[in-house]
Amino acid sequence: VSPRPARPQSAQYGSCSLRRMSVMEALELLDQLVDESDPDVDFPNSFHAFQTAEGIRRAHPDKDWFHLVGLLHDLGKVLALFGEPQ
């Protein structure tokens, strides 16, 4: 597969006209994706997000913003379900 030419992602996705969803809906949608960076993982991608957030919470209990970053860090991967390369 040849790489697609670069294009401004914000122009294509910035208006959120493709699909609107909550964070929880995006996490559930992420479970439909086979992550090319971890194809042999046998648990849902959302589990990885919660696991990451919980690990950060334990290590940095005073940084609630960091817990959120851990939860959200892979959400962009849902774009692969809409034709973007991983």
User: pLDDT digits over 1-34, tens only?
Assistant: 556 655 667 777 677 677 788 999 999 999 998 8
Residue numbers in the known binding site are 48, 73-74
Residues 54-77 have a mean pLDDT of: 94
Which has the higher per-residue pLDDT, 15 or 63? 63
What confidence tens digit (pLDDT) does each residue in 30-53 have?
Answer: 999 887 877 777 888 899 899 999
Residue numbers in the known binding site for Fe cation are 48, 73-74
CB 78 within 8 A of CB 25: no
CA 15 to chain centre: 18
Q: pTM of the full predicted structure?
A: 0.72
Q: What is the pLDDT, as a whole number, of residue 7?
A: 61
Structure tokens at 61: 């209990």
CB 37 within 8 A of CB 77: no
Q: Assign residue 2 a region (left: φ > 0; alpha: ψ between -120 and 50; beta: otherwise).
A: beta
Which has the higher per-residue pLDDT, 69 or 12? 69
Sequence ranges of the domains in the chain: 20-82
Alpha carbon distances (Å) from 45 to 5, 17, 57: 28, 24, 19
Taking each helix axis as running N to C, give the angle between helix 23-30 and helix 45-59, from 0 to 180 degrees, rounded to the nearest 10.
120
The mean pLDDT value of the chain amounts to 84
